[in-house]
Homo-oligomer: A and B are copies of this chain.
Amino acid sequence: MKKRLNIGMIGYGFMARTHSNAYRKVGNFFDLEYTPVLKTVCGLVEEEARAFAARWGYEKVETDWRKVVEDPAIDLIEICVPNNFHAQIAIAAAKAGKMIVCEKPLALNAAEALAMTEAVEAAGVPNLASFNYRRIPAVTLAKQMIDEGRLGKIFHYRANFLQDWTISADVPQGGMATWRLDAKAAGSGVTGDLLAHCIDLALWQNGPITSVNAMTEIFVKERKSVESGKMEPVVIDDACTFFCRFGNGSMGNFEATRYARGHKALFTFEINGEFGSLAWDLHDLQRLAYFNHNDEGITRGWRSIHVTDGDHPYMGKWWVPGLAIGYEHSFVHQAADFIESLSTGKPVGATFRDGMETQRVCDAVLDSAKSGTWVNL
């Protein structure tokens, strides 16, 4: 008989959907000691929370997150609300002894992230910052290949996350749909929203960043506020690019924007080492590009690995070779690994501490962009 893992979901937006779907599916494909139970969903507007509960099968609805955090029936708190609520919920949940999974970026800034990290570590509760892209099979395979030393000494790490959804000056800021353009809710613009993903993968794959030099830009200087109904200055970063040094001596080059026509969600990384290179792109997430310099000269070329075989990370649980899975599966894998970690007692990343390290880089990037100088970490 499986143990139950009772989930209290804070939020009913996009991320609440990805996480709910993951918990509903994970047991059908992975063999786990715990069965996740969608216990309570919590959101500000009760009828919307109720509709979400009906759709996903949550047993209970709340509008005050504190009640969920304090509910003894709940084992795991899922934080899927705008960034400015992460810290308070997470710290309260840690104090209440709950496990926590928190959407990224972990917090509005590194100070908050540190407080959250200290709270979960003091409480000794399992914790996870939801950097889901680590668990796209092609990305996991890349990590595995790097760890095996297949690339040798690393020279370059390159990543970007390019979108094009805010080019129109008519897109408003604030409110439920566009809180990501509101500095109070989001903390920053593309840095926290997009570069955080790039940075998390970079730290995980290539180790610590020791210094950064950045620039940011705001292309549309004012937008209508959903709250006030008036034109107000835009204060979040529309675009951000930075270069950096890693502890291992390699150079980094990062860029994110929401002004790159034709890119819906072009999230890529490329890593160049002595013996080979790897590259990946979210638009074609099932493929990993690999150049192996040790291949014989005349037949050497970038390989396009279709990461759908049974011996590829996670893929043995799904279909058969050649049949792709998608974006949502990264959350299923994350759920599987997290639940597995409850049995093994070995924490899995990204932990809150990992999330805090990413936040420290984000802060340094924004500081550097402001000062126009290198910032050390």
Contacts and interface: CB of A to CB of B under 8 A. Distances in A.
B251 A253 contact: no
Nearest to A245: B215
23 contacts: A24-B25, A155-B167, A156-B259, A213-B213, A219-B249, A239-B251, A253-B253, A261-B275, A262-B302, A263-B277, A264-B308, A264-B320, A264-B321, A264-B322, A283-B286, A284-B284, A298-B309, A298-B311, A298-B312, A324-B324, A324-B327, A325-B326, A373-B373
Nearest to A275: B261
A67 interface: no
A326 B213 CA distance: 38
Contacts of A324: 283-286, 324, 326-327
Interface of A: 14, 18, 20-21, 24-25, 27-28, 55-56, 141, 145, 151, 155-156, 158, 162-165, 167, 213, 215, 217, 219, 239, 241-243, 245, 249, 251, 253, 255, 257, 259-266, 272-277, 282-288, 290-293, 295, 297-306, 308-309, 311-312, 318-329, 372-374
Chain A to chain B: the 5 pairs with minimum beta-carbon distance, closest first: A265-B322, A262-B291, A264-B322, A301-B303, A301-B305
Given A261-B272, A290-B299, 13 more contacts: A14-B320, A21-B28, A24-B25, A261-B273, A261-B293, A263-B272, A263-B322, A264-B320, A284-B286, A290-B301, A298-B311, A325-B327, A326-B326
Q: Which of A158, A277, A287, A303 has the most CB of B within 10 A?
A: A303
Contact of A328 (B167, B272, B319): B319
Contact of A155 (B24, B260, B302): B260
